[in-house]
Amino acid sequence: MFSLNLPPIHPAARRRAAAFPTVVLVWHDIVPREKLVWFDTTIPQFEAQLAQLQRAGARPISLDALYAYLSRGTPVPPPGAVVLCFDDNTRGIFDHAFPRLSRRGWPFVVSAHTAYVGVRTGKDHNTWEQLRRMERSGGARVVSQTHTHPHDLRALSAAALDREMRVAKTRMDRALSRPTPFVTYPSGYWDRRVAEAAWRAGYRLGLTEDRGAAEASPHLLGLRRYSTHRRWNEAIKAITRAAAAAR
């Protein structure tokens, strides 16, 4: 199969990666006090993390602003720039993260798998109306997380991979009445073949769970993010260094 030239990180952005990295953070569900799975975050933990971000000098920006910077090299984000992401579209994002981030005026990202919008699996998932409400607030950007959230996109046939990407984009475009240019790879599993399928489906930015500065990502379809469950301290150090370098 013909290999696509995936869109590069703009050289001006890449040059700033060492001194002024943009940190992209990813959470999953936010729950009151008792975790159902290890990668849940309780409300007390989440509130402590938000306070720590503020003390570190974090400056939350939208995913759209980050995309513009990485693709065009401008406008340049502020030192300490972060993007806040929430995967799996669980109800705790709407009930607990949304109001806390709204009070701070912090933008955020919600990744949703279109087959389970409004459906209960092991947990309740946000409805289309709840997703639209978060977007109408001006703070949220809803992005695709494929159609059925396969555990590992790399294991799918070419036809199944294309279907996951295209069905999700078509349904989300229609439900939210606007194009969906961004996709999150479920469980962080991806490779070049997966990125090329995302590009063919019409996505222009792909979110991974490979850690590191956004500007140091291999290309726009392989954007690096820090897991808040595994890499929190590492991410906070990067944010603190970037914010302090501008003082």
Specify if 63 maps to a domain.
Answer: yes
Encode pLDDT of 1-15 as tens digits: 445 689 999 999 999
Give the Cα separation of 145 and 168 in Å (integer): 8
Nearest to 28 by CA among 102, 147, 113, 106: 113
What pLDDT score was predicted for residue 100?
Answer: 98
The DSSP secondary-structure symbol of 169 reads H
* pLDDT digits 0-9 by tens, 168-198: 999 999 999 999 999 999 999 999 999 999 9
Residue 5 within any structural domain of the chain: no
Structure token pair of residue 43: 């409300």
Nearest to 142 by CA among 133, 151, 150: 133
Residues of the chain with pLDDT under 70: 1-4, 247
pLDDT at 85: 98
Distance of alpha carbon 153 from alpha carbon 214, whole angstroms: 22
**Closest to 203 (Cα-Cα) out of 173, 176, 224, 229:** 173
In the numeric block, which tokens belong to residue 103? 């009070």
Does residue 220 lie within any of the structural domains?
yes
User: Residue 206 domain-assigned?
Assistant: yes
Q: How many domains does the chain have?
A: 1
Residue 235 in domain: yes
CATH number at 42 reads 3.20.20.370
The pTM of the full predicted model, rounded to 2 decimals, is 0.96
How high is the pLDDT of residue 245? 82
Amino acid sitting at position 18: A
Does residue 6 belong to any structural domain of this protein?
A: no
- d(Cα 20, Cα 7) in Å, to the nearest integer? 22
What domain range is 108 assigned to?
A: 11-245
In three-state secondary structure terms, 136 is helix
Instruction: Please check whether residue 91 lies inside any domain of the structure.
Output: yes
pLDDT given at position 138: 87
- Domain assignment present for 2: no
- pLDDT at res. 247: 65
> For residue 184, with 0-12 CB atoms within 10 Å meaning exposed, 13-18 middle and 19 or more buried, which class applies?
buried
Name residue, tokens 């009151």.
Answer: 32
